[in-house]
Amino acid sequence: MIALMGHISQRFWLNLIIMGLFVVLLTPLTLSAAQPQADCGIVDAIDYPIDGISIDHDDFGMYRAGFQGYHTGIDMAFGRYGEPVRAAAKGRVTYADPAGWNDEKGVVIIEHLFPDRNIYFTLYGHMEEVGDYRFPMVGQCVSLGDIIGAVGNPKASARHLHYETRTMRSSAGGPGYWETDPLNGGWMHPIEFTEQWRLRLSPAFRKIVSASGRPGGAPLIGADGSVVFVGQNQIESVDPNNVALWRLSVPGLMGIVALPDGRILGRTSQNQVILFANGRFAASWVADRPLRSPPLRLNDVVAFISADQRIVGYSSEGQLQWQTDPLSSHIEEYAVSSGLLAISGQKEGAHRLWVVNDQGKLVYEGTAPAPVIPLASPYGLLVLVGSQVGLITPEGSLMLLLDTGQSLGRSSRAAMDNRGNVYLYPGQGDFLFAYGPDGGLRWQTRLAALPKQPPLIAVGQGCLMYALTDSGALLSYQTSDGALRGIAALYAGGTAQVPSARLLEVLPSEQVRFSAGYISIATLDGLTLAGLENCPN
């Protein structure tokens, strides 16, 4: 068997979309007469105010002591004084003043009506009128790409553009900084907002739900499509239509699971376990030992990895049900599927794999010559080690699926479809591989760039395979030959990304649900994304 014994980068896909959508004007905007309260239309496309921006510099929400607040926008276009700034979408100018920020230069605000019937505002700060690049008039309608000014030279900082997206302050330029997280004050992250609406305006879009604040862990999705988000010191729920249901403050919340009776159980950094019911605190208990993992549900039992490397199982009310012997001197990976918990680690200098069921019984134990990567699968637990891929069935037996002939690194990821095909990222390099049920290589395809984190991989009905990159790009591939069929994207959050909050799953009827690890979870029609009417047999 497997010797078990006993970058599509952020810049790439961002620039790709920008090149496809940005409207380049060869002449400056010709100003029209002011049109107070004009009907300027509903937004049908959106872009960034500066072409060729880099999102590596993401300072939204960054605290700056000199301003005693958190940054309400993003700064871009450094060192590009005098370059044109363009309207991000069609809308009506509600504020335009070349001296709106005094020595910090001018401000333009545009009101936009979006297809969800909500009004949002974009703000463009530190601008100047340079040459023919003039400010628009208040009340004037502008179109996507119309020039509304130029990158200015503020007195207190380097030459750049300050850009905001928000729900309020239609005719007030400030403040630029806020006393708390601006996500809670009516601002949206400009990159998240832009990428989300690009997605929402695409034919494949079906729905999206978003948290009110930055993520703190993996979300929990109900059978009805409602979502419970783990935030930084809070837990909140939204319904499938993105309507907020409830929100609770929970300092140090590290992870949650759904219980069979519909309650939610979470664990905090203080070793406290809290139960939530219908948006309220229902009960709590303190574990009898230090814990190191989020809660892991094994049917009716809630399991944790303890600080002394045991697996311990509790009832939802906190009664100890069972515990294993210490497994490892260093636990590396774990995965849950079909009521089984697989843990890999090292013991006595050897790489090992343990699989425990919901009764605390060790149903599999093995030694390996290389690190073991267990992965959840609808068919059991995939196991990657050395050059081989295996499957632990729900009954606890181990099957060899294939030998890739190449070393599989610690960042390896894989998925298997209902026909026995295996799709693999080997943990290094920029290739994805597909293997048939007989273990033979079917095809390989190259990613556009080396990923910094391994892509998530999922399959649906069998004709399409999906890979979610660390930059938030969702790639759709034809399983017959590896041809790239479609690309969609969500913003991955920059420095605020939480890798454990990344999500990729294919629902019935080829509906693809994904999160890039930031505040939003989107659902797309996979066939529409791939340009297909149906999934060929």
Alpha carbons 24 and 437: distance in angstroms, whole number:
49
pLDDT at 211: 94
Closest of 223, 230, 87 to residue 165, by C-alpha: 87
Residues 6+ apart with CB under 8 A from 75: 57, 59, 160, 161, 162, 163
What pLDDT shows up at residue 57? 66
Q: How many CB atoms lie within 10 A of CB 358?
A: 17
Task: Give pLDDT, residue 58.
Answer: 79
Q: What is the pTM for the complete model shown?
A: 0.88
Angle subtended at Cα 78 by Cα 75 and Cα 175, rounded to the nearest 5 degrees: 30
Per-residue confidence in pLDDT tens, the chain, 537 aa: 344 333 333 433 434 333 333 323 223 333 333 344 559 999 999 999 998 877 666 788 777 777 788 888 899 988 899 999 999 999 999 999 999 888 889 999 999 999 999 999 999 999 999 999 999 999 999 999 999 999 999 988 889 999 999 998 888 877 787 888 888 888 999 999 999 999 999 999 999 999 998 899 999 999 899 999 999 889 999 999 999 999 999 999 999 999 999 999 999 999 999 999 999 999 999 999 999 999 999 999 999 999 999 999 999 999 999 999 998 778 889 999 989 999 999 888 889 999 999 999 999 999 999 999 999 999 999 999 999 999 999 888 999 999 999 999 899 999 999 999 999 999 999 999 999 999 999 999 998 777 888 999 999 988 999 999 999 999 999 999 999 999 999 999 888 888 989 999 999 999 999 999 999 999 999 999 999 999 876
pLDDT, position 22: 30
pLDDT at 16: 37
- Give the number of residues written for the chain: 537
Instruction: Give the number of other Cβ atoms within 10 Å of residue 255's Cβ.
Output: 19
- Looking up tokens 């001018």 gives 106
10-195: CATH topology is Glucose Permease (Domain IIA) (2.70.70)
- What's the confidence (pLDDT) of residue 382? 97
Q: Give me the half-sphere count of Cα atoms (radius 13 Å) on the Cβ side of residue 59.
A: 16
Report the C-alpha gap between 92 and 84 in whole angstroms: 19
> Given the DSSP bridges, would you call strands 296-298 and 280-286 parallel, antiparallel or unpaired?
unpaired
Predicted local distance difference test score (pLDDT) of residue 226: 95
Q: Domain spans of the chain?
A: 10-195, 204-217+414-532, 329-410
**Which residue, 258, 332, 248, is CA-closest to 295?**
258
CB contact at 8 A, 20 and 50: no
Name which of 305, 367, 306 is nearest 341 in CA terms: 305
C-alpha distances in Å from residue 321, one per residue of 61, 270, 325, 358: 44, 22, 14, 10
CATH class of the domain defined by 204-217+414-532: mainly beta
At position 385, the amino acid (one-letter code) is: V
- pLDDT at residue 56, as a whole number: 61
Q: Quick one: tokens of 346?
A: 């090292």
348, 334 Cβ separation under 8 angstroms: no
Using CA atoms, how far apart are residues 55 and 77, in angstroms rounded to an integer? 10
Task: Collapse the DSSP code of 435 into the 3-class scheme (helix H, G, I; strand E, B; otherwise coil) and give the result.
Answer: strand
- Distance between CA 492 and CA 494 in Å, rounded? 6
Residue 175, preceding peptide bond in cis (omega within 30° of 0):
yes
With CA atoms as reference, report the closest residue to 237 among 225, 251, 253: 225
Radius of gyration of the chain (CA): 26
Residue 314 tokens read as 């509790």
DSSP structure string for 95-124: EEETTTTGGG-EEEEEEEE-TTS-EEEEEE
Whether 446 and 431 have beta carbons less than 8 Å apart is answered as yes
Strands (E) across 410-510 are located at: 413-416, 422-425, 431-435, 441-446, 456-459, 464-468, 473-478, 484-489, 502-507
**DSSP strands (E only) in 357-405:** 362-368, 372-377, 380-385, 388-392, 398-403
Amino acid 402: pLDDT: 97
Beta-carbon contacts of residue 521 (< 8 Å; ≥ 6 apart): 208, 209, 210, 219, 221, 227, 503, 513, 514, 515
